Amino acid sequence: MSLAIINYGAGNLRSVEKACEAAGVAAEITRDKNTIRGASGLILPGVGSFDSAIKELRALSLEGVIEEAIALGKPFLGICLGLQHLFEASEEGKEKGLAILPGAVKKFDFAGTPWSGQSVPHMGWNRLLIKRQAPILDGLEDGTTFYFAHSYYVIPKDEPVVATRTDYGLEFVSAVWKDNIYGIQFHPEKSGAAGLKVLKNFGKLCLK
């Protein structure tokens, strides 16, 4: 069975699908509930604003389908905004997140700090500092670089879910892992061979 790339209008759907194809992972862009239920794993990509994206997910009645799949133990990968939606709320808006993981999303704010010159959004290549060797990071070394493009970052309430951090003046959480739930702030579809490795590792988890 193929993976379901959940289609709620995010702008990077096709690039994620092409990256999965390059990684040898069968994946289909879909918003059909039965197709999502039948998939071996789910990918929730995302670019744009927190509120508009979560509203679209709910308008398509996909929130419950995602929760159901996760409860059944299917591997789930949230990318960028898809990671942020796993949490309870974001400073970017007023809508509630999926609240699958406890915690919130905060905007980078370097005012009054030694890093006040840091630009927001954080864009470009940066290193992962591995705190827990999540299965999607198999074969990747501490310090491997990935491509980021974001102004907000997650603050989990539970430290054990943190898989990686990244230094951008402050050390922010750049990947989480709990059971079958994976979330990454970076864009694997823009991160070359390392990004394809992450998608390949995720695909292998979906075959187990």
Q: Which residues are catalytic?
A: 80, 187, 189
| Strands 3-6, 42-44: pairing kind | parallel
Measured CA angle at 130 (ends 53, 142), to 5 deg:
120
Crossing angle of helices 63-71 and 50-59, in 10° steps, is 80
Contacts of 51 (CB under 8 A, 6+ apart): 90, 92, 93, 94, 95
| Three-state DSSP class for residue 205 | helix
Q: H/E element holding 183? A: strand 181-184
Instruction: Look at the alpha carbons of 202, 4, 76, 88 in this order and tell me if their dihedral is positive or negative.
Output: positive
Give dist(CA 44, CA 41) in Å, integer: 10
Torsion of CA 159, 163, 166, 171, to 10 degrees: 10
Cα–Cα distance, 10 to 27 (Å, whole number)? 16
| Distance between CA atoms of residues 174 and 119, nearest Å | 18
